[in-house]
Chain A
Amino acid sequence: MPHDHSDHPHALLPPDPALRVKALETILTRKGLIDPAALDEIIDTYQNKIGPQNGARVVARAWSDPAFKAVLLADADPVLAELGYYGRQGEHMVVVENTPEQHNMVVCTLCSCYPWPLLGIPPGWYKSDAYRARAVREPRAVLLDFGVILPEGTRVRVWDSTAEVRYLVLPMRPEGSEGLSEDQLAELVTRDSMVGTGLPKSPPEAP
């Protein structure tokens, strides 16, 4: 039913949990324990500034620059820090490389640990019980749900994130992407390909 404002004599009542969150904010603000401006800044950051485009830049660079890739795989933290992708939930990052022999997939069976600085806030499916339970038990079936079919000889390795270690999948560079710039390559890198539940896009056909 469309919401008709003229029918409402009073302000629209938020749902119960929203009122409870407001209550916590009110209490903590009164006690001087939180700064409401800091809350706005955090929301703005994750709604508008941080997202999978950060991870895509890292992947595109690794595809273009073998020396960068080697360092990234050996010890990701210092290079990511240098690029400015560090901080909250990115304290210890491990980058795992897909090869024809091994496809990597990331899950957090405990809750929803995720590399925020590189991928932003995890999507609903990453936080669902279905994904969290099935990714470990039957990763190939989960991949199939995502439309990913791997060659039979490719084994699947599942990495379980924790509060201490977050993983980023370095997907294989798509065929036909030779000669593309780093910016063009970054366009091919999807969020799911960096979680391991997808593959990068194919490059657009040359005109």
Chain B
Amino acid sequence: MADCTPHTAPEPAFEQPWHAQVFALTVHLNETGRFTWGQWVERFAATLARHGLSKELNGGEDYFAAWLETLEAILAQEGIAAPQEVEATRNGWEKAYLDTPHGAPVRLAEG
């Protein structure tokens, strides 16, 4: 368990920007009453347990992958963001990144 050696330098709170974003999104939805934190923990723990059956989770990237999967499942179930809509919007963003010249702000095409 090499990760368990104590670190002296301060670590960033989040390793990747999207970890911070999906974290903030979930906290915000909790605070605006979409779900209680107890409900979130129950769903998230179930996802982690399922993922942990096939491999040992390292607490980093795969932790937030489980986090995102849980949030997507809740939003799909609540009828807030259907999987097809998420997929289409995701592809829209991908296209926007590929079509935007480097250095210019990336914007999603409307529609």
Flag if B14 contacts A121 (CB, 8 Å): yes
Q: Which of B20, B42, B104, B108 gathers most chain A CB within 10 Å?
A: B20
Query: A13 contacts which of B7, B41, B94 (Cβ < 8 Å)?
Result: B94
- Which bucket holds chain B's interface residue count? 35 or more
Q: Tell whether A84 is near chain B: CB-to-CB under 8 Å.
A: no
**In the complex, what residues of B have CB within 8 A of residue A33's CB?**
29, 32, 34, 80
Flag if B72 contacts A24 (CB, 8 Å): yes
Q: How many A-B residue pairs have CB under 8 A?
A: 196
**In the complex, what residues of A have CB within 8 A of residue B93's CB?**
19, 22-23, 26
Least CB distance, B105 to chain A, in whole angstroms: 9
Q: Contacts A17-B68, A47-B20, A163-B37 known; A124 to B99 CB distance under 8 Å?
A: no
**In the complex, what residues of B have CB within 8 A of residue A16's CB?**
90
16 of the cross-chain contacts (CB-CB < 8 Å) are: A13-B97, A15-B18, A17-B22, A20-B72, A22-B93, A27-B80, A28-B80, A51-B10, A123-B11, A125-B4, A130-B3, A130-B4, A130-B56, A131-B59, A134-B1, A147-B6
Closest 5 CB pairs of A and B: A128-B59, A127-B59, A18-B18, A23-B89, A42-B24
Q: B residues engaging A (CB < 8 A)?
A: 1, 3-7, 10-18, 20-25, 27-29, 31-32, 34, 37-38, 40-42, 44-45, 48, 52, 56-60, 63-65, 68, 71-72, 75, 80-81, 85-87, 89-90, 92-94, 97-104, 106, 108
